[in-house]
Structure 1
């Protein structure tokens, strides 16, 4: 008789194990999310870092251009005009405060749907979604980002930025280069940043505290 009895699993033990696995899965999800943020986020400002900026555009925004969900992306590159002077006079801690103030100013100046990043040092990038050069000029009322005023040791400082804009031009990867569309898209973004960099140096040559468009070159 006993040889014919089927093994009955301990349902309580199975439920407990399932609950443990669910907790472990949730813990791993949180850990992965934290790692992704660490890889993609600038620690000082909370903005995207360079890697996060490139990956977000390559994975999400450029594919939407092919589906015509997004009509255009204009890439902007900005440098702070006077960070070295602040560092030299007030120290690097004050420089960090100035960088955070500049980051907040960019967030206030652009829209929620635009993508803003700190690439390195005092250099920032922005991807302006569905906005022509005329729209960008109209938004600011002049070819400059509004200045922000802060104080160091009771000394008022006006933070200004110079920048350049360039249109992001996309092309489908050819059939021989289909191994990684993402890498092709990243090179497309890098090309737009390179053009925006040229426009930014045109702005600096004109006296700083302004931005130019690559089309002006």
Structure 2
């Protein structure tokens, strides 16, 4: 299995090495919600959690996006454990949002456009089981997520649409230096994203609708 520790050539190492290193980057606290704001959560696995987090945290109505792991059997897994394999976890993001400003359906609809749902083996240059994609839904969320999935699959060749809706599982936040990575390390993140060819692939899959 490939992961971000071994993917990049030497010329890019300085730009993106923090992706798998212990180099600390201070994590800015999430902005507090206004008094009386209702909070709900949703969990999405979209490959590299840096990108999934960045895609959600700017959306109106999203209060916070936290990078972490879900879907596996190991308690409190570390990044190194997950990418090494065997834990069953995937990289994921827990999104806290205000349902009065953005609905769960809107979040799921937006999620599809940020991934390649036809890729069963990872996302972009991140390969292996820990980078698999999924929507992790509670019992109440699952019918909404499934309806969104059917609508998104109809826009592509449905047989090629492999990203599943899975049952919600315990979410474990990742280490501090992985939080808010794209915002706090824009140069490193831009180098990683360009190397992985994210934008070009999303345009090939979704055309002008790609996020």
Report TM bin, short chain.
under 0.3
Tell me the TM-score normalized by structure 1: 0.25
The structure with the largest helix share of the pair is 1
Tell me the TM-score normalized by structure 2: 0.25
Structure whose CA Rg is larger: 1
